[in-house]
Chains A and B, each alone.
Chain A
Amino acid sequence: MQISHDILLRSYRAMRTIRDFEERLHVEFATGEIPGFVHLYCGEEASAVGICAHLSETDTIASTHRGHGHCIAKGVAVEGMMAEIYGKKSGVCEGKGGSMHIADLSLGMLGANGIVGGGPPLICGAALSHKLLKDGGVAVAFYGDGASNEGTTLESLNLASVWSLPAVFVLEDNGYGEATASSYACAGSQRARAEGFGMPYVECDGTDFFAVHQAAAEAIGHARSGKGPVMMHVHLARWYGHFEGEAASYRRPEDVVRLRAEKDCLKNFREQVASTSMIEAAELDAIDKAVRAEIDQAVSKAKADPMPEAADLLENVYVSY
């Protein structure tokens, strides 16, 4: 599949934005200024971006506790996200949600989610909306290998097939659900699960943007054409712990060294485009520079922006009450 120059540049920029956003959060979190829990998406950027490259604002995604990458890939404003993570009034959720609940429904971003397996049922509903409102949209549930064992996920695979929904179930398999390896926690095979629910299964190397992009074209194309749901199994690895501040003592430190050296989706992207002369390195360097400035600006603004007022506590529990 030929990918346009414009989409390649935008995708690289989105991946670079996610990487810098997360690496910066890793640094800033350690200072103690960021409250709550933060789960970083570093190393997994090509998955969110390769998939969201096929989506428009009409399409819906539901994300996970590790949601920053999905938000950025779906177009949520970086400044608003950073301010949200700092708990500021200028955050995309006015400081009421934080890292685990960033959402922008106007962009079809149905929310990061603090509940493992929370998203797949919601995506069945979003897919039902697309189908009944006939807007041509598809709904995509990102969920992890941990969530792949949740009853909500398995029920949703069944329901989506029973109702023949335009839904894509993207299993981001980074090898660990919290501290427990998926090799321990996931019985059988994910392919067999998809086949068991009567839906097609595609898998890809999630550190290769081009592999993700191609697999997503197939998966999303299937759902969008009205043929029903599909499972997309993306093989990934996270570079940091489950949440910031944990020591990741369940895996060997050299695993991460190797991942950074050999499975860096940004390096991989640069190498692939260099070999085909699709993009000049200087174009990518310019993006790197622009993104650095954008993240600097987002962090400075987030730190300087005002906190919510006490009166905000009581607002927006209901539309009306």
Chain B
Amino acid sequence: MSRKSFRQAINEALRQEMRRDERVILMGEDIAGGKGGTSGVEEAWGGVLGVTKGLYTEFGPDRVLDTPITEASYIGAAAGAAATGLRPVAELMFVDFVGCCLDQIMNQAAKFRYMFGGKARTPLVIRAMYGAGFSAAAQHSQALYPIFTHIPGLKVVIPSSAYEAKGLLIEAIRDDDPVIFLENKLMYDEEEEVPDEPYTIPFGEANLTREGDDVTIVAFGRMVALANQAADLLQKQGISCTVIDPRTTSPLDTGTILDCVAETGRLVIVDESSPRCNMATDIAALVAEEGFDTLKAPIRRVTPPHTPVPFSTALEKHYMPDADKIAAAVRSVMAYAAKQEA
């Protein structure tokens, strides 16, 4: 056990799985970086933010494949390789680039197993970074996990910390279905204790990071830490919260969400993706349908507005959910209940 960053945890998961199973290969744009350059340094970058640093040097050009900037061909190649005996981990860099290769994910990899009558296995992982807060503007900041969650045949993972990232990525690589693994780009330098040895965290099993009596908060990815901050703040004001990190949006641990809402009677969902048809909306529908009798107040969703992600830091700050917005939402559902009781 030692302190590791989110970046180091992901790197370690890749390295350990590549050592364990030589069918695990990596491909992506500049995951080594430097091929053909005049310096002769073949691993100049190790990924655009250094997540795959050192893997080319250890595993060589057959297993760490730099690609041209052609997402459709290499994401499709990863799907084809997965269906024919390899276990590729393809890096899409920014998840926003899925617009260039969605067909290969949505119509090919995700559907092989069903379309082919259960005879295909596609052990593919697609890693990509997501999220606002970097002033990367509208084409490099989106949180597009609802798009993938919507597609039957895909599994979707959103780790909320370095510990979670390592265990969930190893699980993803060992999984026989196509998995979308989304990393919040603001989290790469966040550190915590992470075991040195490999371990897995199962999909579809939510983690409770706080347990309380008054309000259930469901949050995804980086929003989990913000929900925890809000819960700590609210605790001082006498409001106790349960915070659920579902870890995966597909499969989704609906049982834990419904159980917690049954105990607290109030629900706030924090989702960094655009509000229409996102996870907050999906979970609100779930609880409205299956947990209606347990609710003491309307469900509240904390999301960005229905706009592209803005560039200016001033605008981006307003765009993103934060601990204050989450706390305000929690207080509002508590106030509703108090009003009803009065």
A residues whose Cβ falls under 8 Å from a Cβ of B: 60, 62, 91-97, 101, 103-106, 110-111, 113-115, 118, 120-126, 128-130, 132-133, 139, 151-152, 155-156, 158-159, 162-163, 315-321
Distance (Å) between the CB of A170 and the closest chain B CB? 16
Contact A125 B70 (CB under 8 A): no
Distance (Å) between the CB of B228 and the closest chain A CB? 29
- Name the residue on A nearest B106 (C-beta): A115
Checking A93, A118, A317 against B119 with a beta-carbon cut-off of 8 angstroms, the contacting residue is: A93
Distance (Å) between the CB of B82 and the closest chain A CB? 7
Distance (Å) between the CB of B47 and the closest chain A CB? 19
The interface residues of chain B lying within 8 Å CB-to-CB of A315 are 118
Checking B67, B80, B114, B155 against A110 with a beta-carbon cut-off of 8 angstroms, the contacting residue is: B80
Contact A125 B72 (CB under 8 A): no
Interface pairs (19), CB distance under 8 Å: A60-B84, A93-B119, A101-B115, A103-B112, A103-B119, A118-B108, A120-B73, A121-B76, A121-B80, A121-B104, A121-B108, A122-B104, A125-B77, A125-B83, A130-B84, A151-B72, A156-B73, A158-B73, A319-B121
Contact B115 A129 (CB under 8 A): no
Contact B119 A106 (CB under 8 A): yes
- Name the residue on A nearest B65 (C-beta): A163
- Complexed CA–CA distance, A225 and B135 (Å): 50
The interface residues of chain B lying within 8 Å CB-to-CB of A126 are 80-81, 83-84
Checking A104, A114, A152, A317 against B76 with a beta-carbon cut-off of 8 angstroms, the contacting residue is: A152
The interface residues of chain B lying within 8 Å CB-to-CB of A152 are 72-73, 76, 103-104
The interface residues of chain B lying within 8 Å CB-to-CB of A316 are 113-114, 117-118
The interface residues of chain B lying within 8 Å CB-to-CB of A125 are 76-84, 86, 88
- Complexed CA–CA distance, A120 and B62 (Å): 21
Distance (Å) between the CB of B85 and the closest chain A CB? 5
- Complexed CA–CA distance, A280 and B84 (Å): 41
The interface residues of chain A lying within 8 Å CB-to-CB of B78 are 125
- Name the residue on B nearest A95 (C-beta): B117
- Name the residue on A nearest B119 (C-beta): A105
Is the CB of B176 closer than 8 A to any CB of chain A? yes
The interface residues of chain A lying within 8 Å CB-to-CB of B152 are 317
- Name the residue on A nearest B76 (C-beta): A121
Is the CB of B75 closer than 8 A to any CB of chain A? yes
Given contacts A103-B119, A118-B108, A152-B103, contact A318 B155 (CB under 8 A): yes
The interface residues of chain A lying within 8 Å CB-to-CB of B117 are 91-97, 316
Distance (Å) between the CB of B89 and the closest chain A CB? 13
The interface residues of chain B lying within 8 Å CB-to-CB of A163 are 65
Is the CB of B68 closer than 8 A to any CB of chain A? yes
Contact A122 B115 (CB under 8 A): no
The interface residues of chain A lying within 8 Å CB-to-CB of B107 are 114-115, 118
Q: Which residue among B62, B65, B115 has the maximum number of chain A CB atoms within 10 Å of its CB?
A: B115
Contact B116 A133 (CB under 8 A): no
The interface residues of chain B lying within 8 Å CB-to-CB of A114 are 107
Contact B115 A93 (CB under 8 A): yes
The interface residues of chain B lying within 8 Å CB-to-CB of A105 are 83-84, 116, 119-120
Contact B121 A96 (CB under 8 A): no
Distance (Å) between the CB of A188 and the closest chain B CB? 20
Distance (Å) between the CB of B134 and the closest chain A CB? 28
Is the CB of B220 closer than 8 A to any CB of chain A? no
Given contacts A106-B119, A122-B108, A152-B72, contact A128 B77 (CB under 8 A): yes
Is the CB of B251 closer than 8 A to any CB of chain A? yes
Given contacts A110-B80, A125-B79, A155-B72, contact A103 B108 (CB under 8 A): no
The interface residues of chain A lying within 8 Å CB-to-CB of B33 are none
Contact B113 A317 (CB under 8 A): yes
Q: Which of B123-159 contact A (CB under 8 A)?
A: 152-153, 155
Distance (Å) between the CB of A91 and the closest chain B CB? 7
- Complexed CA–CA distance, A151 and B82 (Å): 22
Contact A132 B68 (CB under 8 A): no
The interface residues of chain B lying within 8 Å CB-to-CB of A110 are 80, 83-84
Contact A124 B103 (CB under 8 A): no
- Name the residue on A nearest B251 (C-beta): A321
The interface residues of chain B lying within 8 Å CB-to-CB of A156 are 73, 76-77
Over the window 162-202 of chain B, the binary record of Cβ atoms lying under 8 Å from chain A Cβ atoms (1 yes, 0 no) is 00000000000001110000000000000000000000000
Is the CB of B6 closer than 8 A to any CB of chain A? no
Contact A158 B70 (CB under 8 A): yes
Checking A60, A106, A121 against B72 with a beta-carbon cut-off of 8 angstroms, the contacting residue is: A121
Is the CB of B25 closer than 8 A to any CB of chain A? yes
- Complexed CA–CA distance, A162 and B81 (Å): 16
3 closest Cβ pairs, A-B complex: A121-B76, A125-B80, A122-B80
The interface residues of chain B lying within 8 Å CB-to-CB of A132 are 25, 62-63, 86
- Complexed CA–CA distance, A192 and B117 (Å): 40
Contact B85 A133 (CB under 8 A): yes
Contact B81 A128 (CB under 8 A): yes
- Complexed CA–CA distance, A105 and B121 (Å): 10
- Complexed CA–CA distance, A317 and B114 (Å): 5
The interface residues of chain B lying within 8 Å CB-to-CB of A101 are 115-116
